[in-house]
Amino acid sequence: MALPGGDMLVRFWGVRGSTPTPQAENLRYGGNTSCVEVRVGDGVYVFDCGTGFRSLGQHLTQEFAGQAVSAHVFVSHFHWDHIQGIPFFRPLFEDPAHRFTFHASARNHSLKNVMEQQMSAPFFPVGVKEMKAQREFFGIESGRVRIDDQVTIEAKWLNHPQGCLGFRIESPEGVLVYATDNEPGDPEFDKNVRALAAGADVLIYDAQYLPDQYEAKKRGWGHSHWREGVNVAMESGAKELVLFHHDPEHDDACIDSVVKEARNFYPAVRAAAEGMEIRVGGNTLAPSTRVEIPL
């Protein structure tokens, strides 16, 4: 459904990294893996298809109720936690009028082939032939592309095993950056993520590890920490930093403490939570309209 003029709406359906964590101590921030929805006007744009993609599918089925669903879906890379929700996304199976345009790098593998392999024996009992919706697949690499005459997407490579794309979403309503699964320390990739984040209204950034965890045990694993997220936001001029891709071992209390400490360095910080919404309108951020996590 179309949004009021001048708004970009960002919804978080999955915020966890690596593997789902359906545990009581994670209920406030959530345990589903990466999936973020962006609405601009009547356009629906989705970033990653982790287990949160299933919840988004349920929502779209209810919202559109008999009407055709159309969306652009951007997949940053093909690690499990970013594609696990595809076989459980109801609109792909429901109606031939639904249309989904998938965008991902084809540098190593095509998303079409990855989807077919993921849903073949011995991994899954239902194949892609059961999908009724129209599906198109486009390769996307580093660069800029105009989508639907209202949104421009810029992609740049991030520092992650087998590669990962970060995305900058520009519209007259505002600028959002989705840059997950990135390890700091490589000059080229550090420059890429700061270029993506330059002047953004909202920067969604990988903060899987605590800084001391990263230094002690996690170098080379392809992820970042909240302190680097603060560095990127401050150096790029991003207006708000949203910490994302929470580690499976980090419960609600741990993430609360991360946000509290990060705000000592950069006040405009919050952690992504399932159900959280951020509305960007006229380049002015409004508070979350559904879920705000108290500290």
Who's near 24: CB < 8 A, 6+ residues apart?
Answer: none
Q: Structure tokens of 39?
A: 């609405």
Mean pLDDT of 127-132: 97
Q: What is the pLDDT of residue 104?
A: 97
Counted residue by residue, the chain has a size of 295
pLDDT tens per residue, range 45-81: 999 999 999 999 999 999 999 899 999 999 999 999 9
In a domain, residue 259? The reply is: yes
**Share of residues in the chain with pLDDT > 70 (%):** 93
Q: Is the peptide bond before 267 cis (omega within 30 degrees of 0)?
A: no
In a domain, residue 290? The reply is: no
Q: What is the pLDDT of residue 108?
A: 81
Identify the burial level of 215 via C-beta atoms within 10 angstroms of its C-beta, where 0-12 means exposed, 13-18 middle and 19 or more buried: exposed
In a domain, residue 30? The reply is: yes
In a domain, residue 2? The reply is: no
Whether residue 228 has pLDDT greater than 80? yes
Whether residue 35 has pLDDT greater than 90? yes
Range of the domain at 118: 7-283
Rounded distance between C-alpha atoms, residue 276 and residue 12, angstroms: 6
In a domain, residue 295? The reply is: no
Residue that has been written with the tokens 């080379």 in this structure = 220
In a domain, residue 173? The reply is: yes
Q: Which of 89-93, 116-120, 126-130, 285-289 has the lowest mean pLDDT?
A: 285-289
Angle formed by the axes of helices 226-236 and 187-197, nearest 10°: 60
What band does 2 get if pLDDT is binned at 50, 70 and 90? low
Long-range contacts formed by 150-154: CB under 8 A, 24+ apart: 150/40, 150/41, 150/43, 151/40, 151/43, 151/45, 153/74, 153/103, 154/196
Total structural domains within the chain: 1
pLDDT tens per residue, range 155-194: 999 999 999 999 999 999 999 999 999 999 999 999 999 9
The CATH number covering residue 81 comes to 3.60.15.10
Rounded distance between C-alpha atoms, residue 199 and residue 233, angstroms: 9
In a domain, residue 125? The reply is: yes
pLDDT tens per residue, range 198-216: 999 999 999 999 999 988 9
Identify the burial level of 9 via C-beta atoms within 10 angstroms of its C-beta, where 0-12 means exposed, 13-18 middle and 19 or more buried: middle
Whether residue 252 has pLDDT greater than 70? yes
In a domain, residue 294? The reply is: no
Q: What is the pLDDT of residue 58?
A: 97
